[in-house]
Amino acid sequence: MAKRSCCGGFAPRSVLPRRMVELADFISSYRTYPHTDWGLAGARCAEWLGRVLAWKPHPARALRQGPFLIPITTGCTYVEPAGGLYRHLSAIERETGVHLSLNMGFPPADIRDAGPSVTAYGETQAAADAAADALFSALLAAEREFAAHRPLPAAEAVAKAIRISASASRPVVLSDTQDNPGAGAPSNTTGLIAELLRQGAERTAVGILHDPAAAAAAHRSGTGGTLATLGGGGTGPGQAPLPGPWRVAALSDGRFRGTSPMLRAAETRMGPTALLAQDGVEVLVASIRQQPIHREVFTHIGVDLASRAIVALKSSAHFRAGFQEIAEQVIVCLAPGANLEDPGCFAFAKIRPSVRLRPAPG
């Protein structure tokens, strides 16, 4: 008897190689990005497993690969058209009895199969093909909406955030996507912070800046002490140090219990952590590089987010799991950084030559 394999738990940003689909009798992906449906994904696998195993001799399967790349920020299911595509997926699944997955792909992955894909598993090939085609058609039709997303240059984004926050009751959230450590960036660039200072932003919190040396210096100095500079010293874009004085507003050991639905860890550890302030801008500096997924990143050290006008986060999408519900508006901005938001700027060497490097506006 041939060995059968089942797979589950792929993130919706994952890249699914054609060979993997050929070899796996069942693949099921998460349906939220940020990934808040860990438990639901497991339950879905358990629900479908018996049905899939009953499809003899093995399930029929279909794979459709999209002809364009989708930037990380626009594949988020908290925004459209991504959110609507997953709702459409569920409707097709209910109507056809075919299990579907939609993966937006991970543009920084320079492999042949990079880009969005649809997978379908059904009892017959005709059923799998029809369901895959229905969802794939919706993906293609959404290309113009994907292309409509336009992150703002840092100066424009900060000006907009200041303008909105003047009459808002909740903080405006800035996504410093090009310094997102979740996509390999160092999480230590200073460009957005410099722009916030230049424009005189008030009641602003920024995080997480990965600067172990600054965190250690702040702990040596103690609360109320000062640092002469912040950041800088690395390689790549956005590494100019920011002159002080930076006042040590608060210190912590960086340990807290996070409550974001994406990652309810028993304990989050950021290492020695400091809150450094200059004029109206506070910067959360940590010793262990990570994304700001939990609001407790700030609140554990005494930052009252409800009293802040602007919150700037070094993350592309995962931050939304913890911060979207408190945001007046989310603005994706482009400050200098290693995680380029536009996949059209990547130096691909292995991707399929037919794939467009960005969605076309129509």
Domain that residue 143 falls in: 7-148
**52 and 65 both lie in a single domain:** yes
Mean pLDDT of 217-241: 93
Helices 191-198 & 154-165 angle (0-180, nearest 10): 50
The whole-number pLDDT of residue 16 equals 72
Give the dihedral sign, CA 20/22/26/32: positive
Residue 9 scores a pLDDT above 60: no
**175 and 98 both lie in a single domain:** no
Residue 330 scores a pLDDT above 80: yes
Compute CA distances 71 → 64, 108, 226, 362, whole Å: 19, 9, 39, 17
User: Is 360 inside a domain boundary?
Assistant: no
Q: What is the pTM of this model?
A: 0.93
List for the chain the helix, strand, coil content (%; round to 5). Answer: 35, 25, 45
> Exposed e or buried b for every residue in 65-89, given b needs 16+ CB within 10 A?
bbebbbbbbbbbbebebbeebbebb
The whole-number pLDDT of residue 360 equals 94
Strand residues in 48-116 grouped as ranges (E): 60-65, 99-103
User: Hey, which of 11-15, 137-141, 336-340 has the most confident mean pLDDT?
Assistant: 137-141
User: Is 11 inside a domain boundary?
Assistant: yes
**314 and 192 both lie in a single domain:** yes
**94 and 182 both lie in a single domain:** no
Strand residues in 69-170 grouped as ranges (E): 99-103, 117-122, 152-153
Grade residue 97 by pLDDT with cuts at 50, 70 and 90: very high
**323 and 251 both lie in a single domain:** yes
The whole-number pLDDT of residue 201 equals 98
Measuring CA to CA, which residue among 109, 36, 110 is closest to residue 76? Answer: 36
The whole-number pLDDT of residue 1 equals 32
The whole-number pLDDT of residue 2 equals 42
**189 and 307 both lie in a single domain:** yes
**80 and 181 both lie in a single domain:** no
Measuring CA to CA, which residue among 38, 82, 15 is closest to residue 264? Answer: 38
User: Is 347 inside a domain boundary?
Assistant: no
User: Is 348 inside a domain boundary?
Assistant: no
User: Rounded to an integer, what is the distance from CA 359 to the centroid of its chain?
Assistant: 18
The whole-number pLDDT of residue 277 equals 98
Compute CA distances 359 → 13, 86, 88, 108, 125, whole Å: 16, 18, 20, 15, 30
User: Is 40 inside a domain boundary?
Assistant: yes
User: Is 139 inside a domain boundary?
Assistant: yes
Grade residue 204 by pLDDT with cuts at 50, 70 and 90: very high
- Nearest-angstrom CA–CA distance, 187 and 149: 23
User: Is 69 inside a domain boundary?
Assistant: yes
- Nearest-angstrom CA–CA distance, 134 and 118: 10
**158 and 205 both lie in a single domain:** yes
**330 and 274 both lie in a single domain:** yes
pLDDT tens across 152-161, in order? 999 999 999 9
Q: Please, what is the average pLDDT of the chain?
A: 93
In sequence order, what DSSP letters do the residues of 254-278 get, joined into one string? SEE----TT---S-EE--SEEEEEE
CB atoms within 10 A of CB 43: 11
Tokens linked to 86: 């997953």
pLDDT tens across 134-147, in order? 999 999 999 999 99
**Count of domains forming the chain:** 2
**122 and 174 both lie in a single domain:** no
Q: Which amino acid is at 3?
A: K
User: Is 357 inside a domain boundary?
Assistant: no
Q: Which of 148, 165, 180 is the last residue of a domain?
A: 148
**101 and 245 both lie in a single domain:** no
Q: What percent of the chain has pLDDT over 70?
A: 95
**133 and 264 both lie in a single domain:** no
Higher-confidence position of 271 and 111: 271
- Nearest-angstrom CA–CA distance, 25 and 5: 5
